[in-house]
Amino acid sequence: MQSAPEALSAIPENRYAEQLRCGFRFLRFSEPLEQEYHQYISKAQARYQKIAVLLGLGIWMIFTLVDVMRLDLGQRFPDYPAPLWSLLLVRGSIILILSLLALRLLDGSREHYGPKVVTATLLSLVLGTTLTIIFYENLNVPISNSVLLLMAITLFFPLGLSYRSNLLLAAVSLPLVVLPGLWLLAQAQQVDYLRLCFIFSLALLICAMGAYVRDHTQREQFLLLRLLDWQANHDPLTALHNRRSFTQHLDLALRQGNRESATVALLMLDIDHFKRFNDHYGHQAGDEALRQVGRVLQHFARRPMDMAVRLGGEEFALLLYGCDAEQLRTLGEALRSGLATLNIAHAASPTADHLTVSMGARLAMDGESSEELYRRADALLYQAKQAGRNHLTLG
């Protein structure tokens, strides 16, 4: 059974396998893979944002209901001392913030919130929780200060922030907990409060360690999922797209071409007398020849909608978007010349002393299906072979 490094070394070069080989100890991918990861994680964690907002709103409303009962607000209204009015103001402000967030998330106007909104909301909760504890102390009403430990966990909850953002959020939250207590509490109360702040900082440290492990695992899973998807859509020998990926992309390109009035071209090519090449030089040399042809072909698929494909065996295809007839002819001849410059010896070929290819190329007609385009391009490839091979036939 292969080890993980051996399995990765057998995969053709791609950015997901390369990142797994290099590792990501500091929880950072190379660009633009880092951007792709954040797009993925934002979508994946949109559901957690909804749950967190609703859960936070529910918990905060329960705390508010407890305030009403514990502090006998109905009987004492409106003769409240200043700390109690301050407490109610904080409770109401946090409920308003969470309610607005919940409404925006649940009405379908957005799938998730960006890092700035998440950060501002969490900092508001930290400050609100801190002030609530302080106002309870000033009212001489006992309250469980362990709610700050729950706040430490919340700061590292998976809400779409990067690990670095979580660390920065934790660093900013610590003075938001410490400073209001030093400012609003009496000196006799500050000793116990500072002890609580110390416990809060330890909780942040423990949560940060757990968040690191979670983020590392999420990144590894992301790379493995992307790698599996890459393998499902690429040829393992040449790293070009495979027939499955090509079939899906051809339909997409034709639909988009119809919408944008853009031309779509399909060029199919076949290595001449490749069975004789394998018989004469061996299959390892044949595999290397296929890889070299694949690299040249990939050089011509530069734009986002272009695609270089290994259809199977010695048969390849090149899908070109926004390519007219003259460009197709020029590109086809340039491709044939580029393959010839590889100068791969083929002593067993009756066509030439080096490896050659036959090609058939066609522009898609209006309303032409992917099956029709493929069939007609394949027929042109057959004509090129019948014409003596090492030839390009345009339709």
pLDDT tens figures, 288-320? 999 999 999 999 998 889 999 999 999 999 999
Stronger pLDDT, 42 or 370, i.e. the higher one: 370
CA distances from residue 328 to 38, 264, 266, 368 in whole angstroms, order as listed: 38, 10, 9, 18
Q: Which residues are the active-site residues?
A: 314
Confidence of residue 3 (pLDDT cuts 50, 70, 90): very low
DSSP, residue by residue, 328-346: HHHHHHHHHHHHHTT--B-
Asked if residues 127 and 121 have their Cβ atoms less than 8 Å apart, the reply is: no
Determine phi and psi for 264, rounding to 5 degrees. Answer: -125, 130
Q: Name which of 111-115, 194-198, 275-279, 334-338 the model is least confident about.
A: 111-115
Confidence of residue 349 (pLDDT cuts 50, 70, 90): very high
First CA to last CA across the chain, in angstroms? 50
The pTM of the whole model exceeds 0.85: no
pLDDT at 5 over 70: no
CA distances from residue 81 to 32, 61, 84, 136, 144 in whole angstroms, order as listed: 56, 22, 5, 12, 21
DSSP, residue by residue, 234-283: B-TTT-SB-HHHHHHHHHHHHHHHHHHT--EEEEEEEETTHHHHHHHH-H
pLDDT tens figures, 19-74: 998 889 889 999 889 999 988 888 888 878 888 888 889 989 998 898 888 888 88
- The residue whose two tokens read 């030093």 is 182
pLDDT at 144 over 90: no
Average pLDDT, the chain: 89
CA distances from residue 395 to 22, 265, 335, 338, 347 in whole angstroms, order as listed: 47, 10, 17, 22, 32
In sequence order, what are the residues at sequence separation of 6 or more whose Cβ sits closer than 8 angstroms to the Cβ of residue 175?
none
**Per-residue pLDDT, 251:** 93
pLDDT at 10 over 60: no
Query: Residue range 171-180: average pLDDT?
Result: 94
Among 117, 120, 138, 122, smallest CA distance to 180 is for 138
DSSP 1: -
**Per-residue pLDDT, 9:** 56
**Per-residue pLDDT, 1:** 43
The domain covering 243-394 belongs, at the CATH homologous superfamily level, to: Reverse transcriptase/Diguanylate cyclase domain (3.30.70.270)
**Per-residue pLDDT, 244:** 93
**Per-residue pLDDT, 148:** 82
Stronger pLDDT, 169 or 108, i.e. the higher one: 169
pLDDT tens figures, 261-288: 999 999 999 999 999 999 999 999 999 9
Q: Rounded to an integer, what distance in angstroms lies between the CA atom of residue 165 and that of residue 169?
A: 6
Asked if residues 316 and 246 have their Cβ atoms less than 8 Å apart, the reply is: no
- The residue whose two tokens read 């590894």 is 220
**Per-residue pLDDT, 224:** 93
Query: Residue range 176-188: average pLDDT?
Result: 91
pLDDT tens figures, 214-242: 999 999 999 999 999 999 999 999 999 99
Asked if residues 358 and 389 have their Cβ atoms less than 8 Å apart, the reply is: yes
Residue 12 amino acid letter: P
In sequence order, what are the residues at sequence separation of 6 or more whose Cβ sits closer than 8 angstroms to the Cβ of residue 288?
none
What does the domain layout of the chain look like in residue ranges?
4-231, 243-394
Stronger pLDDT, 363 or 31, i.e. the higher one: 363
Confidence of residue 79 (pLDDT cuts 50, 70, 90): confident
- Percent of the residues in the chain that have a pLDDT greater than 90, as a whole number: 59
pLDDT at 88 over 50: yes
Asked if residues 351 and 388 have their Cβ atoms less than 8 Å apart, the reply is: yes
Sign of CA dihedral 213, 214, 215, 220: positive
**Per-residue pLDDT, 310:** 96
